[in-house]
Amino acid sequence: MTTQLEQELATYTAANPKSEELHNRATEYMPGGDTRNSIFWDPFPLYITDGNGTTLTDADGNKRTDFVNNMTTLILGHRPPEVVLAVSEQVNHGLSFPAPSPSVVRWAELMCERVPSLDKVRFVNTGTEATLNAIRAARAFTGKQKLVKCEGAYHGNHDAIQISVVPPLDQAGNAESPDSVKAFPGISETAADDIYIAPFNDIVAAEKVIREHADELAAVIVEPVNGQCGMIPGKPEFLEGLRRITDELGILLIFDEVIAFRIAYGGAQDYYGVTPDLTCFGKVVGGGMPVGAFGGRDEIMSMWDPRGGSATVQHAGTFNGNPMTAAAGVSTLENLTPEKYEYLEQLGEYLRSKLRALFAELEVPMGVTGVASLFALQFTSTEVVDYRTFATNDKNMLKIMFIGLLNEGFVMSNRCAGNVSTAHTEEDVDAFVEAVGNVLRRAGYA
């Protein structure tokens, strides 16, 4: 007897022959046919030819409603006319220069004006570089080496932080003071020794870990909304507690807002009213172009100031603050008014409440996590608040839902996380929730 997953996969394969063909070609030149594991799925990913508003078109001409928005980046949807215009105008003036452009000044001004803790900012090209530089800043500023991060948090693809990202539970130690587990082979042996792990959203346990190692700590780095475990909002008392404890002990607090910047006009720190020392950005702030940024208090950021040959920390990057990304970033930020955030928050809440009603009606052991425009399906009846509760997800059901939704004409991330953009409407959400119901009914929930 074929399983539900096999049936969904058969439908998927039959509908996407050109993507399969492209994937077969791709595997000859790229390992696994891919250059970005986070967007891979078995048996093959879709190859996209066009994005417009909320619609993605693939190589076979199939159109689907996109709830991924390039991993939360495209907050105004695909190809917003203002951003396309700004980028097209920049194309006519040059793609990159060996000197700063006026647009980068405006971009930095917009960031510092809206994010409470930003006295100064520096631009890079990925969120990975943003966390790398913020960690370096914390080490240089404090003269200390070690970090605390939360279990199950992804902060980018570099050694210092690729620790305890998705640790196998049989290697992860106890829940209150988890072990540091290297994410994969190849990471420096010392990286795991330089980092202590705390559970997300448990301030009592986190405080113990921080106090135990306080003398060696440069920083505590935290994602105010844990993206990888399903857009889990930090509890206010957790984030406020981290601020209180790090302030008391003279340890820097780094917010990784690569995703969470999306939740309010001034980012997650504005939403929660908690002011970190340093913040990392990515995704939204580049308007769809490659981007990262980090910034914070003047006192710390002045280490990068090269005036008079006095920079303490060196920082180069051929494409840092390039005019193409700056044009897209400026245009996106200028379009992201407080009203747009209100709309996103309402639409996100509408989506989450409709999903909860559906799960109750079908009596399915599922939940939904998220905040503002962010959401994720959780295939468990356990309330998901951290990595260990996230680990109770039924992975087979997740795969059925992910492929089933593609068959229904909707795209989520391969972890079944999603987000709404300003281009989405209540009608899009209604159709999405109906599609989730259709997949569940096919899986036997009626």
Ligand X SMILES: Cc1ncc(COP(=O)(O)O)c(C=O)c1O
8 A C-beta contact, residue 335 and residue 114: no
Name the residue nearer to ligand X (CB basis): 74 or 259.
259
CB of 2 to ligand X, least distance (A): 35
Name the residue nearer to ligand X (CB basis): 161 or 400.
161
Give the Cα separation of 413 and 404 in Å (integer). 13
- Among 227, 267, 296, 348, interactor with ligand X by CB under 6 A: 227
379 binds ligand X per the rule CB under 6 A: no
Name the residue nearer to ligand X (CB basis): 155 or 354.
155
Task: Compute CA distances 109 → 47, 116, 256, 292, whole Å.
Answer: 37, 12, 20, 16
Give the Cα separation of 182 and 170 in Å (integer). 13
Q: How many residues bind ligand X (CB under 6 A)?
A: 15
Q: Which residue is nearest to ligand X (CB)?
A: 127
Hey, which residues are catalytic here? 154, 256, 283
282 binds ligand X per the rule CB under 6 A: yes
CB of 10 to ligand X, least distance (A): 31
- Residues in contact with ligand X, shown as a per-residue x/- string from 115 to 134 under the rule CB under 6 A: -----------xxx--x---
223 binds ligand X per the rule CB under 6 A: yes
151 binds ligand X per the rule CB under 6 A: no
- Residues in contact with ligand X, shown as a per-residue x/- string from 68 to 87 under the rule CB under 6 A: ---x----------------
Alpha-helix residue ranges (DSSP H) falling in 257-307: 268-272, 298-301
Name the residue nearer to ligand X (CB basis): 153 or 206.
153
323 binds ligand X per the rule CB under 6 A: no
Give the Cα separation of 78 and 66 in Å (integer). 9
| Residue count of the chain | 446
CA-based nearest residue to 202, from 165, 234, 226: 234
Instruction: Return the axis-axis angle of helices 203-212 and 236-249, rounded to nearest 10°.
Output: 20
8 A C-beta contact, residue 338 and residue 303: no
Omega into 224 within 30° of 0, i.e. cis?
Answer: no
Residues in touch with ligand X (CB under 6 A): 71, 126-128, 131, 154-156, 223, 227, 256, 258-259, 282, 292
